[in-house]
């Protein structure tokens, strides 16, 4: 485990829960700090057994694997004290409150620094800590719109990516930033406040979009399943959908269709010229459409890949959990420990170190699951003290 020894306090909701999951996957010791009663994102679906229950949220589970869980009311005077005692013992804090919230509680970066001068605070918010839109309310939908993603995805109507991709992207930037801040801290011996804007995270991951605006003055529009550079398009087969390339290795492709008597006029020499092909895009799509309908997805994917075409099945979740490739690499991990837990399998991280996949994924904590253990071990609280804190609504 590469990050063994790194200690992280996680105060985030779903906006940045993935950030400390990334760190936990690498071996960091992450304590998820929820307000008493549990994080609101425990109400996010889908749910185990389709039962709306705070301990059965699968998205919470996925975003919080490998973490420990305690509850603490940081708005309460006593809770604040306990929080600061924890700050002393940890290296990193990740939070996703509105800008200024922690300051108002007296828990802003300056206050934290007095307690632990080397603390790294990573703040993930919709629009960052400063600037005219800093107080705008945000969610994945708002970030996807303001960040530019929706202007280029979809057909007539703009389309947000599935899931909460803006949160995942911002979390990746934050986790990367935290590792950079750790290196910086060792040089300066000072703490750091990282300011991650989810809008910027989206705007920074638009591939060609800003590049072509700044260099060629092109404002990209939406064009359905047709990839921006007109290279990829999705076609219907007998039993599903395949994504294929329109211009890649043109002669081979046309030969293939022609061998089945379905290349129509595409055999014409004029099509050897790429500029001509691009001008006849709609026509080419029409011909390919007729051809793919005579095949199964499996046939085209298998043969296409054999011929080195970067083609792909358009797979749904059910297909993906059966993928022979993911199976061979052990991507779906056993969840451990199994106690109190009926979730058995979970997607693991997308990398392996030294060709050794992680054996299992440690499950997400139940609300306050580690209160007894952690408050006892870390801060020396007795059972009686914990009961008192519990009755006061602090934990």
For the question of residue 227 being annotated catalytic, the response is yes
Shortest CB 338 distance to other proteins, Å:
13
Residue 172, classed as helix, strand or coil, is helix
In whole angstroms, the minimum distance from the beta carbon of 262 to other proteins comes to: 23
Residue selected from 85, 98, 111, 228 as contacting other proteins according to rule CB under 8 A: 228
Of 178 and 263, nearer to other proteins (C-beta) is: 178
The least CB distance from residue 242 to other proteins, in Å, is 8
Residues 341-380 that bind other proteins (CB under 8 A): 342-347, 349-355
Phi-psi region of 308 (alpha: psi -120 to 50; beta: other; left: phi over 0): left
**Residues 6 or more apart from 383 whose CB is under 8 A from it?**
372, 376
State the nearest-atom distance from the C-beta of 364 to other proteins, in Å: 11
Minimal CA–CA distance to 137: which of 145, 128, 126, 148? Answer: 126
Q: Count the site residues for other proteins by CB under 8 A.
A: 148
Binding residue for other proteins (CB under 8 A) from 88, 133, 238, 286?
133
Select the residue interacting with other proteins from 29, 332, 360, 390 (CB under 8 A): 332
User: Which C-beta is closer to other proteins: that of 56 or that of 76?
Assistant: 56
Q: Is 139 in the site for other proteins (CB under 8 A)?
A: yes
Kindly name the residue from 161, 208, 227, 283 that is annotated as catalytic. Answer: 227
Spatial distance between the Cα atoms of 149 and 54, rounded to a whole number of angstroms: 31
Min CB(395)–other proteins separation in Å = 26
Contacting other proteins (CB under 8 A), which of 7, 118, 161, 298?
A: 161
Task: Report if residue 129 touches other proteins, rule: CB under 8 A.
Answer: yes
Contact residue for other proteins among 131, 239, 274, 359 (CB under 8 A): 131
Interacting positions 263-292 with other proteins (CB under 8 A)? none
Using rule CB under 8 A, residue 158 touches other proteins: yes
Phi-psi map region of 222: left, alpha, beta (phi>0 left; psi -120 to 50 alpha) = beta
Q: Which of 247, 250, 331, 390 binds other proteins (CB under 8 A)?
A: 331
Greatest Cα pair distance, the chain, in angstroms, is 86
Closest to other proteins by CB, 269 vs 354, is 354
- Quote the CA–CA distance of 390 and 368 in Å, as a whole number: 11
Nearest residue to 62 via CA among 308, 362, 290: 362
Name which of 48 and 264 has its Cβ closer to other proteins. 48
Q: Nearest distance from residue 376's CB to other proteins, in Å?
A: 28
In order of 6, 7, 52, 186, the CA distances from 91 in angstroms are: 7, 5, 35, 12
Task: Work out which of 85, 105, 115, 234 binds other proteins, going by CB under 8 A.
Answer: 234
Exposed, middle or buried, 393 (CB in 10 Å: 0-12/13-18/19+)?
middle
Cβ neighbour number for residue 246 with a 10 Å cutoff: 20
Distance CA 122, CA 19 (A): 10
Site residues for other proteins, 175-214, by CB under 8 A, read: 175-177, 179-184, 187-188, 190-197, 199-201, 203-214
Query: CB of 129: closest distance to other proteins in angstroms?
Result: 7
Piece in contact with other proteins (CB under 8 A), picked from 55-63, 71-79, 98-106, 384-392: 55-63
350: which strand partners? Answer: none
At residue 179, φ and ψ (nearest 5 deg) are -70, -35
225 lies in the site for other proteins, by CB under 8 A: yes
Asked whether position 33 contacts other proteins by CB under 8 A, the answer is no
For other proteins, the closer CB: 76 or 313: 313
Which pairs with CB-CB distance under 8 Å and at least 24 residues apart come from 303-310?
303/256, 304/242, 304/244, 307/249, 307/252, 307/256, 308/249, 309/244, 309/245, 309/248, 309/249, 309/253, 310/245, 310/248
Catalytic residues: 227
């Amino acid at each position: 485990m590469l990050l063994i020894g790194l200690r992280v306090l996680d105060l985030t909701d779903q906006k940045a829960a993935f950030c400390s999951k990334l760190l936990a996957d690498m071996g960091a010791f992450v304590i998820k700090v929820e307000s008493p009663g549990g994080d609101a994102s425990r109400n996010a679906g889908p749910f185990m057994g389709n039962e709306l229950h705070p301990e059965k949220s699968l998205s919470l589970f996925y975003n919080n694997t490998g973490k420990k869980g305690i509850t603490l009311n940081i708005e309460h005077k006593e809770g604040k004290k306990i929080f600061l005692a924890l700050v002393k013992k940890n290296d990193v804090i990740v939070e996703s409150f509105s800008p200024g919230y922690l300051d108002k509680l007296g828990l802003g970066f300056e206050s934290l620094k007095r307690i632990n001068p080397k603390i790294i605070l990573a703040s993930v918010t919709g629009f960052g800590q400063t600037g005219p839109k800093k107080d705008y309310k945000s969610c994945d939908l708002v970030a996807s719109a303001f960040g530019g993603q929706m202007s280029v995805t979809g057909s007539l109507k703009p389309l947000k990516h599935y899931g909460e991709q803006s949160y995942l992207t911002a979390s990746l930037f934050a986790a990367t930033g935290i590792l950079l801040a750790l290196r910086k801290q060792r040089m300066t011996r000072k703490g750091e406040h990282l300011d991650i804007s989810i809008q910027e995270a989206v705007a920074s991951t638009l591939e060609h979009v800003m590049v072509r605006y700044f260099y060629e003055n092109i404002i990209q529009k939406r064009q359905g399943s047709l990839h921006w550079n007109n290279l990829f398009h999705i076609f219907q087969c007998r039993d599903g959908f395949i994504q294929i390339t329109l211009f890649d290795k043109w002669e081979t492709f046309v030969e293939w269709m022609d061998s089945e008597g379905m290349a129509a006029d595409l055999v014409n020499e004029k099509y050897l010229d790429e500029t001509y092909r691009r001008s006849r895009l709609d026509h080419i799509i029409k011909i390919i459409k007729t051809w793919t309908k005579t095949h199964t997805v499996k046939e085209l994917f298998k043969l296409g890949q054999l011929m080195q075409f970067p083609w792909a099945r358009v797979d749904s979740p059910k297909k993906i959990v059966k993928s022979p490739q993911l199976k061979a690499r052990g991507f779906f991990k056993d969840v451990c420990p199994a106690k109190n837990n009926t979730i058995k399998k979970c997607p693991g991280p997308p990398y392996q170190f030294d060709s050794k996949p992680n054996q299992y994924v440690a499950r997400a904590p139940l609300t306050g699951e580690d209160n007894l253990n952690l408050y006892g071990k870390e801060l020396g609280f007795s059972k009686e003290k914990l009961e008192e804190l519990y009755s006061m609504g602090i934990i």
